[in-house]
């Protein structure tokens, strides 16, 4: 049976290769091995073994390659080809990852600046006009509410104050600036805002303004509010979106915290966003420091001039 298989292998080699033709017979199994190796086809198992002495001699006819003695790829070229191919695959995947990362970053930037946040002009607790430009270089926590809120707003401001205090104890993170923007411009005067916020974190800044200004900033931050009908005491409740936004130092929306978040969860979210933000935008660190330093210098000069 081994002889018949070997003869079949030799005939296939002669049939499949145009350069195989009849030559003087070679009475050995090596001819079939060379024939199949030259064609790049697997060598039959029977052709790899020495024929038994009692088997009939198989006559294999194989022509040597006259025109291409180097037709078979050298063994050293195989690992080189594998290494080069693997390097090309890794390079292409790396470039694809970089392109995808940049697209994701641009997508986040466009969403943050187009859908959440934007320019505004309001009044602070001293009655001075402030804009979004005054907070460039600051990380912001922006909450919308009103000073006459019976329970929800105080609870949320307590949680934010606690989370900010926890952040203040971690000096490796930038200082965060909390803002409280009123959705009740008729009653929330600068004086009322200052008195109300004195019970919470001392860094809170209250912002109010005309109805048109409040409508504009609520639209920019996608915040809904609606006043209920007044009662007999001329009192009313303002129904509004209960949410707090985290805004980056370059004005980009980073995250939001809903009503169900605890102070610890808000703190954890802040630290995670700080870490991710600073890792992705490490090149902006120097620019942001320059903005903050210039703002501190301007405030010091204004205070010196007023005194």
pLDDT in tens, 149-192: 999 999 999 999 999 999 998 877 889 999 999 999 999 999 99
CA dist 1 and 301 (Å) reads 104
Reported confidence tier of residue 42, pLDDT bands at 50, 70, 90 = low
The predicted model gives 235-243 an average pLDDT of: 92
Between the ranges 39-43, 79-83, 207-211, where is the mean pLDDT highest? 207-211
CA dist 5 and 9 (Å) reads 6
Rounded to the nearest integer, the mean pLDDT of the chain is 76
Contacts of residue 22, defined as CB under 8 A and 6 or more positions apart, other chains included, come to 61, 63
Long-range Cβ contacts of 188-195 (<8 Å, 24+ apart): 188/146, 188/147, 190/123, 190/124, 190/125, 190/126, 190/127, 191/125, 192/147, 193/125, 193/147, 194/125, 194/126
Burial of 181: CB neighbours in 10 Å, binned 0-12, 13-18, 19+: buried
13 within 8 A of 20, measured Cβ to Cβ: yes
The predicted model gives 245-270 an average pLDDT of: 92
Reported confidence tier of residue 286, pLDDT bands at 50, 70, 90 = low
Question: Residue 65's CB: how many other CB atoms inside 10 A?
Answer: 15
pLDDT of residue 246 exceeding 90: yes
The predicted model gives 140-157 an average pLDDT of: 95
Q: Give the model's pLDDT for residue 299.
A: 74
Q: What is the pTM (predicted TM-score) of this model?
A: 0.57
Tokens of 195: 């008195």
> What is the widest separation between alpha-carbon atoms in the chain?
121
Q: Give the model's pLDDT for residue 116.
A: 87
pLDDT of residue 236 exceeding 80: yes
261 within 8 A of 159, measured Cβ to Cβ: yes
**Residue appearing with tokens 């929306």:** 253
CA dist 211 and 106 (Å) reads 34
Question: H-helix or E-strand containing 105?
Answer: helix 77-115
Give the residue, 266 or 301, on which the prediction is more confident.
Answer: 266
- The sheet carrying 253-258 orders its strands as 205-207, 176-182, 139-145, 243-247, 253-258
123-136: per-residue pLDDT in tens? Answer: 999 999 999 999 98
201 within 8 A of 165, measured Cβ to Cβ: yes
pLDDT of residue 54 exceeding 60: no
């Amino acid at each position: 049976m081994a002889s018949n298989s070997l003869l079949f292998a030799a005939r296939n080699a002669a049939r499949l290769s145009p350069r195989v033709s009849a030559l003087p017979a070679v009475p050995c199994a090596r001819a079939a091995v060379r024939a199949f190796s030259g064609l790049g086809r697997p060598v039959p198992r029977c052709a790899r073994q020495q024929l038994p002495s009692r088997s009939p001699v198989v006559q294999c006819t194989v022509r040597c390659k006259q025109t291409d003695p180097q037709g078979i790829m050298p063994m050293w070229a195989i690992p080189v080809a594998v290494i080069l191919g693997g390097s090309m695959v890794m390079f292409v995947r790396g470039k694809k990852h970089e392109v995808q990362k940049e697209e994701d970053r641009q997508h986040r930037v466009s969403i943050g600046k187009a859908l959440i946040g934007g320019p505004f002009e309001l009044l602070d607790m001293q009655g001075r006009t402030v804009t979004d430009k005054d907070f460039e270089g600051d990380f912001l926590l922006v909450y919308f509410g009103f000073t006459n809120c019976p329970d929800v707003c105080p609870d949320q401001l307590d949680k934010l104050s606690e989370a900010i205090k926890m952040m203040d104890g971690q000096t490796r993170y930038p200082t965060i600036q909390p803002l409280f923007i009123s959705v009740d411009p008729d009653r929330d005067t600068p004086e009322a805002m200052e008195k109300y916020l004195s019970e919470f974190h001392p860094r809170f800044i209250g912002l109010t303004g005309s109805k048109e200004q409040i409508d504009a900033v609520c639209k920019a931050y996608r915040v809904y509010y609606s006043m209920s009908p007044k009662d007999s005491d001329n009192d009313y409740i303002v129904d509004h979106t209960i949410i707090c936004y985290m805004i980056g130092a370059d004005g980009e929306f980073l995250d939001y915290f809903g009503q169900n978040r605890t102070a610890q969860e808000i703190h954890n979210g802040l630290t995670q966003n700080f870490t991710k933000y600073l890792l992705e935008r490490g090149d902006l660190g120097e620019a942001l420091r320059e903005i903050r330093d210039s703002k501190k210098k301007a405030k010091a000069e204004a205070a010196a001039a007023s005194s």
